[in-house]
Amino acid sequence: MRRDIFQAIADPTRRAIIGLIALQAMTPNALAEHFDTSRQAVSKHIKILTECELIKQEQKGREIYYRLELEKMKEIDIWLEQFRKMWETRFNQLDEVLSIMKEQKQ
């Protein structure tokens, strides 16, 4: 079952996992060391992230390493872009209002 990418980032543990492997590929054991939960719980989070295609696994010898799929992260960025434009417009409007108020004070 393919999960929605926003399901994956909704959980703080999964966001933390994404943050960790954004810096470097990591094994499940290395990831689990960063959390106060069981290795099985971390594995479930990894499974969800894998199903969403946010992370990929690579076999290196006997170890499995997980790495971030930056291309998939673009889906999130594209969705956020619409809000970014809205925020920029509002900040520009606020800046104009503040400039007018400053001029009126002088």
Residues 2 and 25 in one domain: yes
Instruction: Tell me how many domains the chain contains.
Output: 2
Q: Do 51 and 41 reside in the same domain of the chain?
A: yes
Structural domain span for residue 15:
1-68
Q: State residue 50 phi and psi, 5-degree precision.
A: -70, -45
Residue 6 has pLDDT above 60, yes or no: yes
> pLDDT at position 54, please?
94
Strand partners, 67: 56
Q: Are residues 58 and 36 in the same domain?
A: yes
> Torsion-angle region of residue 61: left (phi > 0), alpha (psi -120 to 50) or beta?
left
pLDDT confidence bin for 105, thresholds 50/70/90: confident
Count Cα neighbours of 75 within 13 Å in the Cβ-side half-sphere: 12
Pair (47, 4) in one structural domain: yes
pLDDT, tens digit, for every residue of 49-61? 999 999 999 999 9
d(CA 71, CA 88): 25
How far is Cα 54 from Cα 49, in angstroms, rounded to an integer?
5
The pLDDT tens digits of the residues spanning 14-67 come to 999 999 999 999 999 999 999 999 999 999 999 999 999 999 999 999 999 999
For position 18, which CATH number holds? 1.10.10.10
Do 49 and 98 lie in one domain? The reply is no
State the pLDDT at residue 33: 95
> Does 95 score more than 60 pLDDT?
yes
pLDDT value of residue 32: 95
